[in-house]
Amino acid sequence: MIKTILGAVKPFRLLSLVMTYLLGAGLVKYVRGLPGWSLLIQGGIFLILISLSLELLCLLHRLVEPKNWSEGIQLREVKLTRAGIAAIIATLLTLATSIFIHWIVVGVLWQGLGFLLLTLFALCVIYYLTQVIAFLKPFLLLIEIFLFVVIPPALAFFLNSDELHPYLTLVVFSLVPAYLANRLLHALENFSHDQKYEVDTLTTRIGWENAMVIHNVLILLTYFLVGLSAVWGLHWFIIWPVFLTLPIGLLEIWLMERVRGGMKPLWGAMRFAAGSVFFVPVYLIAFAFWIR
């Protein structure tokens, strides 16, 4: 049961959520200073609770189908596992609700933050529906972008500020292509399985080769948007370290082109390179915000 429950935890998505949240908090510190650590910690815990609850809820739905059961598992064990998952979901959501009510009581919840939380709730519902309704499955990637790249820094920022800053928009949109490239790589790695079992994903719809081309374009687009953000007003000293990862991005493109040319994929190296193109820039930008 424990192994099944832990399987619901998606390390890449969870780490994306935490790091982009800290980036948003760093931006608040940079533009106006953090009023305190309490709200920052509460917001991070709130997002993690919501994310884990959502993944467990999706797992609960998948376990309804016998084809998703582990080999050799009995019906009684499945029922026990589902009961355990339901109890964990209830606990996590209770804690998240307590934090939300606390924000209302202390007057943290203002109109902009309320709209953001309402958007988060709507996205969570759609995320779950992509697991339930087959034709919505290809849109999962789009919902992921908002849940794990856009919402976390926005929540960190608006918990501590009631004014939108252009840096938030510039940084977030610069990082979206890198996140998409990582998710496309994961889909490419599972392409044979998804095609065999007729799993409807964006990659199976557009095809193996098209997905590889788009993956490479997204890597280059990341650095283009980072550079363009300087033209739009983001200080150069904040973003120039990101270009130190450009050789890794070019390496990832070369590794993908090898595969497109018919050579054996080096999935481990490709995961490391693609992950570096996303996580290292997030870290470097967040670090620049935090130390200034």
Q: What is the pLDDT of residues 162-184, one digit of tens each?
A: 888 889 999 999 999 999 999 99
For the chain, give the number of residues.
Answer: 292
Among residues 238, 205, 183, 236, which one has the least CA distance to residue 26?
238
- More confident of the two residues 245 and 60: 245
Range ranked top by mean pLDDT from 43-47, 57-61, 226-230? 43-47
What span, in angstroms and rounded, lies between the C-alpha atoms of 80 and 75? 9
Where do we find the tokens 């390496």? 251
Q: What is the DSSP letter of 159?
A: T
Determine what percent of the chain is predicted with pLDDT higher than 70. Answer: 92
* Cβ-proximal residues to 95 (8 Å cutoff; 6+ apart), any chain: 45, 49
Residue 203 scores a pLDDT above 90? no
- What is residue 17's predicted lDDT score, i.e. its pLDDT? 96
Between residues 106 and 20, the one the model is more confident about: 20
Region at 264 (left for phi over 0; alpha for psi -120 to 50; beta for the rest) = beta
pLDDT tens track for 234-288: 889 899 999 999 999 999 999 999 988 888 989 999 999 999 999 999 999 999 9
Q: CA–CA separation, 180 vs 248, rounded Å?
A: 16
Checking if the pLDDT of 89 tops 90, the result is: yes
Confidence of residue 62 (pLDDT cuts 50, 70, 90): confident
More confidently predicted of 208 and 122: 122
Q: What band does 2 get if pLDDT is binned at 50, 70 and 90?
A: low
